[in-house]
Amino acid sequence: MSSGILNNDKELFLRIAENDEAAFRLLFEQYRERLFLFAWQLCHSAADSEEVVQDVFTRIWENREKLTAVESPRNYIYTMVRNRTLDLLSKIVKDKNLIKEVWANISEGSNETEQLLQAAESKQLIEKAVSQLSPKKRKVFQLSRDEGLSHQEIAGQLGISVQTVKNIITEVLRQIKSFLSEHSELLAILFWIQTYSLLFQ
């Protein structure tokens, strides 16, 4: 089967519904990296993100006869990844209803997440986590989060490469999330959801 024949996701879904394994592999290759990143942005775990993606594609194949009724394959797939990741997070937080509420607030553009992170106790924990960073890491993080500078602007100001800035921010977010996890899994998750965009400035 030529991949050129499959010019859109809807066509891929129809072929998969007909037990076309080549179409399934093509769909997997087209979406694997994007879905992994999407899941990782929510749970910040490479292992869990990989598990989510594999589980979603397993379910797609196992329920392939239902794909003919799907109007928007992309939305269908991303919704599956989102829901599977929420299930995973619910195991961490031990409160599925709370996670659903948090996700609903985020999806609706609510500032509930920001309010939770701005609570006095939460701010103290975050500030304590930041204070434990090395001076260089703390400076990069503050320029990124507090002053809203791009990676390129930070690199120019500090005389380091853009890649170094990206590496530092990635490491800083991981360190802070790890510190917060020792005190509150929910706070750690909310912090990550609120700050992961710093990786792409």
What is the pLDDT confidence band of residue 1, given thresholds at 50, 70 and 90? Answer: very low
Full-prediction pTM beyond 0.85? no
* Residue 168: predicted pLDDT: 87
The residue among 57, 82, 105 that closes a domain is 105
For the chain, what is the domain count?
2
* Residue 73: predicted pLDDT: 92
What is the pLDDT confidence band of residue 177, given thresholds at 50, 70 and 90? Answer: confident
Full residue range of the structural domain in which residue 116 is found = 111-200
* Residue 2: predicted pLDDT: 39
Better-predicted residue by pLDDT, 194 or 179: 179
d(CA 183, CA 125): 8
Domain shared by 8 and 100, yes or no: yes
Domain shared by 159 and 186, yes or no: yes
Say which residue the tokens 């399934």 belong to. 24
Domain shared by 124 and 71, yes or no: no
For 11-52, how does the pLDDT look when each residue is reduced to its tens digit (9 = 90+)? 999 999 999 999 999 999 899 888 988 888 887 777 788 889
| CATH code where residue 115 lies | 1.10.10.10
For 107-150, how does the pLDDT look when each residue is reduced to its tens digit (9 = 90+)? 444 444 455 554 555 667 777 888 888 888 888 888 887 787 88
The residue among 51, 84, 105 that closes a domain is 105
- Cβ(165)–Cβ(176) below 8 Å: no
* Residue 185: predicted pLDDT: 62
- Per-residue three-class SS string for the chain: CCHHHCCCHHHHHHHHHCCCHHHHHHHHHHHHHHHHHHHHHHHCCHHHHHHHHHHHHHHHHHCHHHHHHCCCHHHHHHHHHHHHHHHHHHHHHCCHHHHHHHHHHHHCCCCHHHHHHHCHHHHHHHHHHHHCCCHHHHHHHHHHHCCCCCHHHHHHHHCCCHHHHHHHHHHHHHHHHHHHHCCCHHHHHHHHHHHHHHHHC
Domain shared by 100 and 85, yes or no: yes
* Residue 27: predicted pLDDT: 92
What is the pLDDT confidence band of residue 101, given thresholds at 50, 70 and 90? Answer: low
* Residue 128: predicted pLDDT: 80
The mean predicted confidence, pLDDT, of the chain is 77
Domain shared by 11 and 42, yes or no: yes
| CATH code where residue 68 lies | 1.10.1740.10
Tallying the residues shown for the chain, one arrives at 201
